[in-house]
């Protein structure tokens, strides 16, 4: 029983702690596509989306959102459906 309780505590920590949604660079998607996706999916302003796109281009990745794991998962999946490389850490 102890391991089940420990697993539940760990799961609760994962779901409630702060996580980062990270966008990775690729050689396929255009700046316009990335910017449009960030505006549409992540509710970024155009300026914020442009800045993130440039950071991804020059640094290889960028944290585009922070927050609760449950809130980030739908955004990550939507970005991946748009053929963007995104992960949650």
* Domain layout of the chain by residue ranges: 26-88
Token readout for 18 is 């702060």
What backbone torsions phi and psi does residue 85 show, to the nearest 5 degrees? -95, 110
Mind listing the pLDDT tens digit for each residue in 26-82?
Answer: 999 999 999 999 999 999 999 999 999 999 999 999 999 999 999 999 999 999 999
Give the predicted TM-score (pTM) of the model: 0.80
Q: Which helix (H) or strand (E) holds 47?
A: helix 46-59
């Amino acid at each position: 029983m102890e391991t089940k309780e420990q697993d539940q505590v760990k799961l609760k920590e994962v779901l409630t702690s702060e996580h980062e949604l990270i966008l990775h660079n690729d050689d396929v998607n255009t700046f316009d596509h990335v910017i449009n996706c960030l505006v549409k999916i992540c509710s970024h302003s155009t300026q914020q989306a442009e800045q993130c796109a440039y950071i991804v281009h020059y640094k290889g990745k960028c944290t585009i959102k922070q927050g609760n794991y449950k809130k980030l998962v739908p955004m990550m999946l939507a970005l991946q459906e748009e053929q963007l490389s995104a992960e949650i850490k």
